[in-house]
């Protein structure tokens, strides 16, 4: 791929400084870029690599000090987003697989053809498993990679269990399981745990992305629902009957217990844990390693275990850090009080 710097500038709406005839043949991180590469700089922590980078061009914020003349610059308000646009429009990978791999399993009910459960032009590659009555739409690709729904991609060793529904433009990365049994058991009179059949399904709506080794449990009854535009990182557990709203982002190693509802435009940081049967409203951000045991309905940023509003948590953390000093002050005050009490007794004794 060879793209002119002018074409890139037109795409991102930036302003060029330097050699406008520069040709870009690749994209790279600033510390790894070489000749022909476009890179970007949006965080001060990476400015230390600017003098040594070998990139041919760089996306920077307006006003950046252009101290090198051997590199071309494109000034944009958000270099990170601009770089992503370049990837999407000029450097997205292309897949050209066809047919159904011999190692894939497709249930007989997932047949090919118009109005069938499994759409036309489907490619199913190594290790993919498509269960009974899975709903898959036209122009679906299951690649080493697999697409379910229009322009959807499922990568290696993805399992979609029976009756689950996958929408359009969904991306599911290797090792993820959609529709595994929910964690449902009850102890009998002898304390032996008996399995409760999980007879619901999972619905994954359009434009959802699931990272690798994500587990989305099927509902005990009804449906576990991941709504349009939600993005879920690697190694996330979604319990049975969970509902996740539109355009929500969940980071790696987070866990959402059964029957919890998460609103739209929420953010869960890495290793956040949500207990079951609670509700998280819209526009709520939960910090990394936070533990949420009660419903949160007010939009805002929450952090800690138990999770509280960020300002409250930071105040508490500051006080905890000052506990040794507080203890010393308390001892001093106790001594002063004791001295005053002794002095008062002495005076009263006279």
Which residues are identified as catalytic?
A: 240
225: exposed, middle or buried (Cβ count in 10 Å: 0-12, 13-18, 19+):
buried
Vertex 306, ends 302 and 307: CA angle to 5°? 5
Secondary structure class of 26 (helix, strand, coil) = strand
Q: What is the DSSP annotation of 147-164? A: --STT-EE-TT-EE-TT-
160 alpha carbon, distance to own chain's centre: 20
19 alpha carbon, distance to own chain's centre: 38
Secondary structure class of 217 (helix, strand, coil) = strand
Q: What is the DSSP annotation of 29-98? A: -TTT--TTEEEE--SGGGGGGTTT---SEEEE-TT-----SSSEEEE-S-HHHHHHHHHHHH--------
Secondary structure class of 300 (helix, strand, coil) = strand
Residues pairing with 186 in the sheet? 194
Distance (Å, whole) CA 304 – CA 73? 41
Residues pairing with 177 in the sheet? 159, 215
Residues pairing with 285 in the sheet? 267, 301
- CA distances from residue 188 to 181, 192, 193, 194, 199 in whole angstroms, order as listed: 20, 5, 6, 7, 21
């Amino acid at each position: 791929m060879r793209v002119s710097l002018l074409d890139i500038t037109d795409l991102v709406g930036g302003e060029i400084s330097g050699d406008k005839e520069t040709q870009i043949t690749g994209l790279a991180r600033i510390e790894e870029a070489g000749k022909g590469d476009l890179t970007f700089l949006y965080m001060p922590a990476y400015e230390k690599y600017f003098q040594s980078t070998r990139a041919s061009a760089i996306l920077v914020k307006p006003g950046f000090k252009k101290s090198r003349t051997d590199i071309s610059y494109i000034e944009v308000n958000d270099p990170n987003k601009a770089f992503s646009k370049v990837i999407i429009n000029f450097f997205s990978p292309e897949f050209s697989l066809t047919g159904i791999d011999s190692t894939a399993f497709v249930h007989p009910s997932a047949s090919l053809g118009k109005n069938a459960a499994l759409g036309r032009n489907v490619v199913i590659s190594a290790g993919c498993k498509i269960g009974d009555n899975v709903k898959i739409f036209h122009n679906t690709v299951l690649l080493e990679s697999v697409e379910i729904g229009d322009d959807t991609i499922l990568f290696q060793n993805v399992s979609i269990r029976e009756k689950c529904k996958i929408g359009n433009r969904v991306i599911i990365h290797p090792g993820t399981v959609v529709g595994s049994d929910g964690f449902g058991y009850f102890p009998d009179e002898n304390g032996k745990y008996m399995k409760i059949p999980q007879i619901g399904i999972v619905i994954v709506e359009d434009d959802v992305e699931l990272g690798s080794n994500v587990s989305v449990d099927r509902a005990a009854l009804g449906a576990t629902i991941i709504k349009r535009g939600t993005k879920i990182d690697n190694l996330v557990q979604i319990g049975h009957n969970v509902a996740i709203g539109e355009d929500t982002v969940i980071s790696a190693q987070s866990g959402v217990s059964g029957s919890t509802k998460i609103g739209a435009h929420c953010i869960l940081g890495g290793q956040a844990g949500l207990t079951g049967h609670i509700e998280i409203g819209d526009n709520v951000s939960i910090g990394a390693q936070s533990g949420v045991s009660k419903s949160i309905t007010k939009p805002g940023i929450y952090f800690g275990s138990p999770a509280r509003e960020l300002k409250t948590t930071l105040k508490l953390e500051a006080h905890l850090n000052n506990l040794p000093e507080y203890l010393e002050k308390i001892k001093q005050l106790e001594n002063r009080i004791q001295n005053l009490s002794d002095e008062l007794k002495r005076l009263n004794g006279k």
